[in-house]
Amino acid sequence: MAEEWRLVDTGLCDAFHNMALDEAIVVARSKNLVPNTLRFFRWQPSAVSIGYFQSMEEEVDTLACDRRGIGYVRRRTGGGAVYHDTDGELTYSLIIDENHALISEDFQKTYETLCSGLVLGLSRLGVPAEFKPINDISVQGRKISGNAQTRGMNVVHQHGTILRKVDPALMFTLLKVPNEKIRDKLIRSVQERVTSIEMLLKKEVSFDDLKGALSSGFEEAFKVKLVEGETLEFEEQLAAKLKAEKYGTRQWNFKR
Amino acid sequence: MGRAEYKVEGGKLIKVQLSRKGNLIEAIKITGDFFLHPEELIEDLELKLAGHPLDEKALIRLMKTLVEKKKATLLGASPEDFAKCIMMAGGDGG
Protein backbone atom coordinates (compact mmCIF):
# COMPACT_ATOMS: atom_id res chain seq x y z
CA MET A 1 0.00 0.00 0.00
CA ALA A 2 1.23 3.46 -0.86
CA GLU A 3 2.62 5.64 1.87
CA GLU A 4 0.07 8.20 3.06
CA TRP A 5 0.78 11.93 3.15
CA ARG A 6 -1.44 14.66 4.44
CA LEU A 7 -3.05 17.15 2.04
CA VAL A 8 -4.19 20.43 3.58
CA ASP A 9 -5.88 23.25 1.74
CA THR A 10 -5.66 26.35 3.90
CA GLY A 11 -7.53 28.58 1.46
CA LEU A 12 -7.18 32.35 1.51
CA CYS A 13 -4.99 33.95 4.18
CA ASP A 14 -2.81 37.01 4.58
CA ALA A 15 0.91 36.98 3.83
CA PHE A 16 2.10 36.87 7.45
CA HIS A 17 -0.16 33.96 8.33
CA ASN A 18 0.76 32.08 5.16
CA MET A 19 4.48 32.18 5.92
CA ALA A 20 3.92 31.54 9.64
CA LEU A 21 1.81 28.46 8.96
CA ASP A 22 4.47 27.03 6.64
CA GLU A 23 7.02 27.25 9.46
CA ALA A 24 4.52 25.88 11.99
CA ILE A 25 3.96 22.80 9.80
CA VAL A 26 7.74 22.33 9.56
CA VAL A 27 7.95 22.37 13.37
CA ALA A 28 5.01 19.96 13.69
CA ARG A 29 6.66 17.61 11.18
CA SER A 30 9.98 17.78 13.03
CA LYS A 31 8.19 16.75 16.23
CA ASN A 32 6.53 13.91 14.31
CA LEU A 33 3.09 15.31 15.12
CA VAL A 34 2.08 15.20 11.46
CA PRO A 35 3.01 13.14 8.39
CA ASN A 36 4.73 14.53 5.32
CA THR A 37 2.45 17.25 4.05
CA LEU A 38 1.37 18.93 0.84
CA ARG A 39 -0.29 22.27 1.48
CA PHE A 40 -2.16 24.45 -1.03
CA PHE A 41 -2.85 28.08 -0.24
CA ARG A 42 -3.69 31.47 -1.70
CA TRP A 43 -3.10 35.05 -0.60
CA GLN A 44 -5.76 37.53 0.44
CA PRO A 45 -5.01 40.32 0.21
CA SER A 46 -2.64 39.74 -2.71
CA ALA A 47 0.96 40.07 -1.53
CA VAL A 48 4.60 40.22 -2.53
CA SER A 49 6.99 37.76 -0.91
CA ILE A 50 10.73 38.32 -1.04
CA GLY A 51 13.59 35.86 -0.62
CA TYR A 52 15.43 35.62 2.68
CA PHE A 53 18.46 37.49 1.31
CA GLN A 54 16.63 40.29 -0.44
CA SER A 55 16.18 43.83 0.80
CA MET A 56 12.51 44.80 1.25
CA GLU A 57 13.31 48.45 0.63
CA GLU A 58 15.24 47.74 -2.55
CA GLU A 59 12.88 45.19 -4.06
CA VAL A 60 9.38 46.28 -3.10
CA ASP A 61 7.58 49.58 -3.56
CA THR A 62 5.95 49.27 -0.14
CA LEU A 63 4.13 52.61 -0.53
CA ALA A 64 2.47 51.38 -3.72
CA CYS A 65 1.58 48.14 -1.91
CA ASP A 66 0.14 50.06 1.06
CA ARG A 67 -1.95 52.23 -1.24
CA ARG A 68 -3.46 49.17 -2.90
CA GLY A 69 -3.82 47.15 0.28
CA ILE A 70 -1.28 44.62 -0.93
CA GLY A 71 0.77 42.73 1.64
CA TYR A 72 4.52 42.09 1.74
CA VAL A 73 6.53 39.54 3.66
CA ARG A 74 10.03 38.05 3.85
CA ARG A 75 10.22 34.29 3.32
CA ARG A 76 12.38 31.85 5.27
CA THR A 77 13.67 30.60 1.89
CA GLY A 78 16.05 32.27 -0.55
CA GLY A 79 15.20 33.18 -4.12
CA GLY A 80 13.50 36.17 -5.66
CA ALA A 81 10.51 38.42 -5.18
CA VAL A 82 7.14 36.94 -6.14
CA TYR A 83 3.80 38.67 -6.57
CA HIS A 84 1.06 36.39 -5.24
CA ASP A 85 -2.17 37.59 -6.83
CA THR A 86 -5.30 36.35 -5.06
CA ASP A 87 -6.83 35.13 -8.31
CA GLY A 88 -3.72 34.79 -10.45
CA GLU A 89 -1.70 32.20 -8.66
CA LEU A 90 -1.71 29.10 -6.49
CA THR A 91 0.97 28.42 -3.91
CA TYR A 92 1.96 25.02 -2.59
CA SER A 93 4.28 23.85 0.17
CA LEU A 94 5.86 20.47 0.65
CA ILE A 95 7.04 19.59 4.14
CA ILE A 96 8.95 16.31 4.14
CA ASP A 97 11.14 14.39 6.56
CA GLU A 98 14.76 14.92 5.49
CA ASN A 99 15.43 11.17 5.72
CA HIS A 100 12.76 10.34 3.17
CA ALA A 101 13.94 8.44 0.08
CA LEU A 102 12.86 11.36 -2.16
CA ILE A 103 15.30 13.70 -0.47
CA SER A 104 18.91 13.98 -1.61
CA GLU A 105 21.67 15.80 0.24
CA ASP A 106 22.06 17.68 -3.01
CA PHE A 107 19.64 20.64 -3.10
CA GLN A 108 19.64 20.79 -6.89
CA LYS A 109 18.63 17.12 -7.20
CA THR A 110 15.93 17.57 -4.58
CA TYR A 111 14.49 20.55 -6.46
CA GLU A 112 14.26 18.43 -9.56
CA THR A 113 12.63 15.50 -7.72
CA LEU A 114 10.07 17.61 -5.88
CA CYS A 115 9.30 19.72 -8.96
CA SER A 116 8.64 16.53 -10.96
CA GLY A 117 5.27 16.31 -9.19
CA LEU A 118 4.35 19.77 -10.49
CA VAL A 119 5.61 18.94 -13.97
CA LEU A 120 3.42 15.82 -14.09
CA GLY A 121 0.46 17.69 -12.64
CA LEU A 122 0.73 20.47 -15.22
CA SER A 123 1.07 17.97 -18.05
CA ARG A 124 -2.24 16.42 -16.93
CA LEU A 125 -3.82 19.79 -17.66
CA GLY A 126 -2.27 19.80 -21.11
CA VAL A 127 0.57 22.14 -20.17
CA PRO A 128 3.87 20.71 -21.48
CA ALA A 129 5.98 21.85 -18.55
CA GLU A 130 9.59 20.98 -17.81
CA PHE A 131 11.92 21.51 -14.89
CA LYS A 132 14.46 24.23 -15.54
CA PRO A 133 17.42 24.42 -13.14
CA ILE A 134 17.99 25.98 -10.72
CA ASN A 135 14.46 26.23 -9.34
CA ASP A 136 11.98 26.97 -12.11
CA ILE A 137 9.43 25.15 -14.19
CA SER A 138 8.94 26.45 -17.68
CA VAL A 139 6.87 25.87 -20.78
CA GLN A 140 8.40 26.53 -24.20
CA GLY A 141 11.16 28.47 -22.48
CA ARG A 142 8.82 30.65 -20.42
CA LYS A 143 8.58 30.42 -16.65
CA ILE A 144 5.30 29.22 -15.15
CA SER A 145 6.47 28.27 -11.67
CA GLY A 146 9.19 29.36 -9.26
CA ASN A 147 10.19 27.29 -6.25
CA ALA A 148 12.32 27.75 -3.13
CA GLN A 149 13.67 25.24 -0.68
CA THR A 150 15.26 25.19 2.71
CA ARG A 151 15.96 22.66 5.44
CA GLY A 152 16.23 22.60 9.18
CA MET A 153 15.00 20.55 12.13
CA ASN A 154 15.50 17.47 9.88
CA VAL A 155 12.73 18.62 7.60
CA VAL A 156 12.84 19.76 3.97
CA HIS A 157 10.54 22.66 3.18
CA GLN A 158 9.88 23.61 -0.42
CA HIS A 159 7.27 26.08 -1.49
CA GLY A 160 6.47 27.55 -4.85
CA THR A 161 4.04 29.30 -7.08
CA ILE A 162 2.04 28.26 -10.14
CA LEU A 163 0.79 31.04 -12.39
CA ARG A 164 -2.83 30.81 -13.53
CA LYS A 165 -2.94 34.34 -14.92
CA VAL A 166 -0.21 36.94 -15.03
CA ASP A 167 -0.18 40.73 -15.17
CA PRO A 168 3.41 41.99 -15.60
CA ALA A 169 2.37 45.65 -15.58
CA LEU A 170 0.83 45.30 -12.12
CA MET A 171 3.89 43.34 -10.96
CA PHE A 172 6.12 46.27 -11.82
CA THR A 173 4.01 48.80 -10.00
CA LEU A 174 4.68 46.77 -6.84
CA LEU A 175 8.32 45.85 -7.44
CA LYS A 176 10.96 48.57 -7.56
CA VAL A 177 12.61 49.23 -10.87
CA PRO A 178 16.15 50.67 -11.10
CA ASN A 179 14.78 53.68 -12.98
CA GLU A 180 11.52 54.70 -14.62
CA LYS A 181 13.00 54.73 -18.11
CA ILE A 182 13.34 50.97 -18.14
CA ARG A 183 9.99 50.13 -16.55
CA ASP A 184 8.31 49.44 -19.93
CA LYS A 185 11.29 47.42 -21.07
CA LEU A 186 11.13 45.30 -17.92
CA ILE A 187 7.40 44.74 -18.38
CA ARG A 188 7.98 43.63 -21.97
CA SER A 189 10.80 41.34 -20.93
CA VAL A 190 8.60 39.69 -18.29
CA GLN A 191 5.87 39.30 -20.91
CA GLU A 192 8.40 37.43 -23.00
CA ARG A 193 9.87 35.31 -20.22
CA VAL A 194 6.79 34.40 -18.18
CA THR A 195 3.66 32.50 -19.05
CA SER A 196 0.53 31.26 -17.32
CA ILE A 197 -1.94 28.41 -17.59
CA GLU A 198 -4.53 30.75 -19.03
CA MET A 199 -2.15 32.04 -21.71
CA LEU A 200 -1.17 28.53 -22.72
CA LEU A 201 -4.58 26.87 -22.71
CA LYS A 202 -6.52 29.97 -23.84
CA LYS A 203 -9.04 29.30 -21.10
CA GLU A 204 -9.33 29.63 -17.36
CA VAL A 205 -8.65 26.57 -15.21
CA SER A 206 -10.40 26.64 -11.83
CA PHE A 207 -8.37 26.45 -8.64
CA ASP A 208 -10.08 23.14 -7.84
CA ASP A 209 -9.07 21.63 -11.18
CA LEU A 210 -5.54 22.95 -10.77
CA LYS A 211 -5.21 21.55 -7.24
CA GLY A 212 -6.68 18.25 -8.39
CA ALA A 213 -4.21 17.93 -11.27
CA LEU A 214 -1.22 18.88 -9.12
CA SER A 215 -2.25 16.47 -6.35
CA SER A 216 -2.44 13.62 -8.86
CA GLY A 217 0.93 14.68 -10.26
CA PHE A 218 2.53 14.56 -6.82
CA GLU A 219 0.93 11.20 -6.02
CA GLU A 220 2.19 9.70 -9.24
CA ALA A 221 5.67 11.22 -9.07
CA PHE A 222 6.24 10.43 -5.38
CA LYS A 223 4.27 7.13 -5.31
CA VAL A 224 2.30 8.29 -2.30
CA LYS A 225 -1.37 8.63 -1.47
CA LEU A 226 -2.56 12.08 -0.42
CA VAL A 227 -5.18 12.04 2.29
CA GLU A 228 -7.15 15.23 2.85
CA GLY A 229 -6.71 16.47 6.38
CA GLU A 230 -6.81 19.53 8.59
CA THR A 231 -4.11 21.51 10.32
CA LEU A 232 -3.64 20.65 14.00
CA GLU A 233 -4.50 23.00 16.81
CA PHE A 234 -0.75 22.92 17.57
CA GLU A 235 0.03 24.22 14.08
CA GLU A 236 -2.59 26.96 14.20
CA GLN A 237 -1.44 28.16 17.61
CA LEU A 238 2.20 28.13 16.61
CA ALA A 239 1.34 29.94 13.36
CA ALA A 240 -0.42 32.68 15.35
CA LYS A 241 2.67 33.01 17.56
CA LEU A 242 5.06 33.08 14.57
CA LYS A 243 2.91 35.69 12.87
CA ALA A 244 2.92 37.90 15.97
CA GLU A 245 6.61 37.44 16.79
CA LYS A 246 8.26 36.96 13.40
CA TYR A 247 6.50 37.21 10.03
CA GLY A 248 4.26 40.09 11.03
CA THR A 249 7.08 42.20 12.43
CA ARG A 250 8.96 45.02 10.80
CA GLN A 251 12.12 43.65 12.37
CA TRP A 252 11.86 40.48 10.26
CA ASN A 253 10.43 41.94 7.08
CA PHE A 254 12.92 44.81 6.86
CA LYS A 255 15.91 43.04 8.37
CA ARG A 256 17.93 43.16 5.16
CA MET B 1 29.27 53.88 -0.04
CA GLY B 2 30.14 51.50 -2.90
CA ARG B 3 27.49 49.46 -4.65
CA ALA B 4 27.59 46.73 -7.25
CA GLU B 5 25.29 44.19 -8.84
CA TYR B 6 26.48 41.04 -10.50
CA LYS B 7 24.27 38.62 -12.40
CA VAL B 8 25.81 35.17 -12.43
CA GLU B 9 25.64 33.54 -15.86
CA GLY B 10 22.98 30.83 -15.60
CA GLY B 11 22.59 31.75 -11.95
CA LYS B 12 21.29 34.43 -9.63
CA LEU B 13 21.77 38.11 -8.89
CA ILE B 14 24.13 39.32 -6.15
CA LYS B 15 23.99 42.89 -4.82
CA VAL B 16 26.68 44.33 -2.57
CA GLN B 17 26.71 47.58 -0.64
CA LEU B 18 29.85 48.41 1.30
CA SER B 19 31.81 51.14 2.93
CA ARG B 20 35.60 50.94 2.97
CA LYS B 21 38.41 52.27 5.07
CA GLY B 22 41.60 52.28 3.05
CA ASN B 23 41.84 48.81 1.60
CA LEU B 24 39.61 47.29 4.27
CA ILE B 25 35.90 46.60 4.16
CA GLU B 26 34.34 48.63 6.97
CA ALA B 27 30.75 47.38 6.71
CA ILE B 28 28.97 45.31 4.08
CA LYS B 29 25.48 44.16 3.11
CA ILE B 30 25.00 41.33 0.63
CA THR B 31 21.53 40.84 -0.84
CA GLY B 32 20.08 39.05 -3.85
CA ASP B 33 17.96 36.16 -5.06
CA PHE B 34 20.57 33.41 -4.58
CA PHE B 35 20.20 30.46 -2.22
CA LEU B 36 22.44 29.91 0.80
CA HIS B 37 21.66 27.35 3.46
CA PRO B 38 21.75 27.71 6.42
CA GLU B 39 20.31 31.13 5.61
CA GLU B 40 21.54 32.85 8.79
CA LEU B 41 25.09 32.32 7.56
CA ILE B 42 24.77 35.51 5.51
CA GLU B 43 24.75 37.56 8.70
CA ASP B 44 27.85 35.68 9.97
CA LEU B 45 29.54 36.29 6.67
CA GLU B 46 28.83 40.02 6.73
CA LEU B 47 30.31 40.28 10.22
CA LYS B 48 33.39 38.29 9.19
CA LEU B 49 33.90 40.54 6.18
CA ALA B 50 33.95 43.72 8.26
CA GLY B 51 37.64 44.58 8.62
CA HIS B 52 38.65 42.18 5.86
CA PRO B 53 40.95 43.40 3.06
CA LEU B 54 39.52 44.00 -0.41
CA ASP B 55 41.57 41.21 -1.91
CA GLU B 56 39.72 38.94 -4.32
CA LYS B 57 41.72 35.78 -3.63
CA ALA B 58 41.48 36.20 0.14
CA LEU B 59 37.74 36.82 -0.13
CA ILE B 60 37.27 33.61 -2.12
CA ARG B 61 39.31 31.70 0.49
CA LEU B 62 37.29 33.13 3.36
CA MET B 63 33.98 32.21 1.75
CA LYS B 64 35.11 28.73 0.77
CA THR B 65 36.34 28.05 4.30
CA LEU B 66 33.10 29.29 5.81
CA VAL B 67 30.97 27.17 3.46
CA GLU B 68 33.05 24.07 4.19
CA LYS B 69 33.17 24.60 7.94
CA LYS B 70 29.42 25.16 8.23
CA LYS B 71 28.60 22.44 5.66
CA ALA B 72 26.66 25.13 3.85
CA THR B 73 25.06 24.96 0.42
CA LEU B 74 25.27 27.74 -2.14
CA LEU B 75 23.05 27.64 -5.22
CA GLY B 76 23.03 30.12 -8.06
CA ALA B 77 26.24 31.88 -7.03
CA SER B 78 29.73 30.69 -6.04
CA PRO B 79 32.31 32.10 -3.63
CA GLU B 80 34.11 33.42 -6.73
CA ASP B 81 30.96 35.29 -7.80
CA PHE B 82 30.51 36.86 -4.37
CA ALA B 83 34.17 37.90 -4.26
CA LYS B 84 33.88 39.45 -7.71
CA CYS B 85 30.82 41.48 -6.75
CA ILE B 86 32.46 42.62 -3.49
CA MET B 87 35.53 43.79 -5.45
CA MET B 88 33.28 45.65 -7.89
CA ALA B 89 31.50 47.42 -5.02
CA GLY B 90 34.85 48.22 -3.39
CA GLY B 91 36.22 49.67 -6.59
CA ASP B 92 33.79 52.50 -7.20
CA GLY B 93 35.20 54.95 -4.76
CA GLY B 94 33.34 53.64 -1.65
SS3 of B29-73: EEEECCEEECCCHHHHHHHHHCCCECCHHHHHHHHHHHHHHCCCE
Domain residue limits, chain B: 2-91
> Across residues A152-178, what is the average pLDDT?
92
Amino acid of residue A198:
E
User: What is chain A's mean pLDDT, rounded?
Assistant: 96
> pLDDT tier at B92 (50, 70, 90 boundaries)?
low
> pLDDT tier at B94 (50, 70, 90 boundaries)?
very low
A181 versus B69: the higher-pLDDT residue is B69
CATH number, position A118: 3.30.930.10
What CATH code is assigned to B2-91? 3.30.390.50
| pLDDT value at residue A194 | 93
> pLDDT tier at A185 (50, 70, 90 boundaries)?
confident
Residue A249 pLDDT > 60: yes
Q: Are B34 and A52 within 8 A, CB to CB? A: no
Residue A183 pLDDT > 70: yes
Q: Which residues of B touch A80 (CB under 8 A)?
A: 12-13, 33
Nearest to A54 among B33, B38, B76 (CB): B33
pLDDT in tens, A194-241: 999 999 999 999 999 999 999 999 999 999 999 999 999 999 999 999
pTM of this prediction?
0.96
Buried b (16+ CB within 10 A) or exposed e, A157-173: bbbbbbbbebebebbbb
Nearest to B34 among A53, A150, A152 (CB): A53
Distance CA A43, CA A47 (A): 7
What is the total count of domains within chain A?
A: 1
Nearest to A78 among B11, B29, B35 (CB): B35
> Across residues A171-189, what is the average pLDDT?
84
**Total CB pairs under 8 A between chain A and B:** 57
Q: Are B35 and A151 within 8 A, CB to CB? A: no
> pLDDT tier at A72 (50, 70, 90 boundaries)?
very high
| CA atoms B21, B22, B25, B28: torsion sign | positive
A71 versus A192: the higher-pLDDT residue is A71
Domain membership of residue A94 as a residue range = 3-253
> Across residues A117-138, what is the average pLDDT?
97
Least confident of A67-71, A165-169, A205-209, B32-36: A165-169
- In sequence order, which ranges of A54-144 are alpha helices (DSSP H)? 56-59, 62-68, 107-124
